[in-house]
Amino acid sequence: MKSVIVVLALAMASAVAVEAQVGKSHGLLDANTASEADLLKAPHMTAAIAKAIVAARPFASITELHKLLLSHKLTADQTAAVYGRAFVHINLNTATAAEIMLIPGAGKRIAHEFEEYRPWKSWAQFDKEISKYVGAKETTRLAQYGFIPLNLNTASDADILSIPGVGQKMLHEFKEYRPWKTTGQFDKEIGKYVDAKEVRRLARYVTIP
């Protein structure tokens, strides 16, 4: 009996360990959900650019937003300033080095370290490993630019609610259809409540075993 209890405890601990979420914001806006008025508060942002962002979203990646900003003649320094205020979160387990280096202050070394410790399973792991190189304060700043996909069948309420734009109603729907079995099921069921573009945006943040 004791051995069974130990096994169950280890299994539960393992399940908790793989849960993750969107990095806690310390003033950073999600470019896919921020209001036009809030986007206008970003450095070098014009009314025309803010309207273009809203019209083009959701962006599947930060590179899509980057192309839009470059098309409006913003320089590399200006886009970096925008990203200090608004960004499209990157998946820490799949983002390319080029995407990682669009994070203000993140160069090749940070890109290497982000890739080195994959697969990321928790923010505790991220804090431990990245702080070795840049310290706790910078690690906290970097974390807000990324996300570690959630297991949609086991994620906690708090983790699901960390997804930008998800409120109590969508939380309910995410849990209502458990256990999720396929991405096709996710597209079908969540598509009853939001359009296809929003389904794709939400799908970026989750995994279905």
> How many structural domains are present in the chain?
2
pLDDT tens digits along 19-69: 568 999 999 999 999 999 999 999 999 999 999 999 999 999 999 999 999
Looking at the domain assignment, is residue 128 inside a domain? yes
143-199: pLDDT as tens digits: 999 999 999 999 999 999 999 999 999 999 999 999 999 999 999 999 999 999 999
Claim to verify: residue 69 and residue 81 sit in the same structural domain: yes
- Pure H helices in the chain: 2-17, 36-39, 47-56, 62-71, 76-83, 97-100, 108-116, 123-143, 157-161, 168-176, 183-190, 196-203
pTM score, whole prediction: 0.88
Q: Do the domain assignments include residue 122? A: yes
Q: Which structural domain, as residue segments, surrounds residue 35?
A: 22-147
pLDDT digits (tens, 9 = 90+) for 126-154: 999 999 999 999 999 999 999 999 999 99
Same structural domain, 35 and 123: yes
In a domain? residue 89: yes
> Are residues 141 and 97 part of one domain?
yes
Per-residue tokens: 80 = 């970096």
Same domain, 54 and 32: yes
Which has the closest alpha carbon to 178: 150, 149, 204, 201? 150
Q: What is the mean pLDDT of the chain?
A: 92
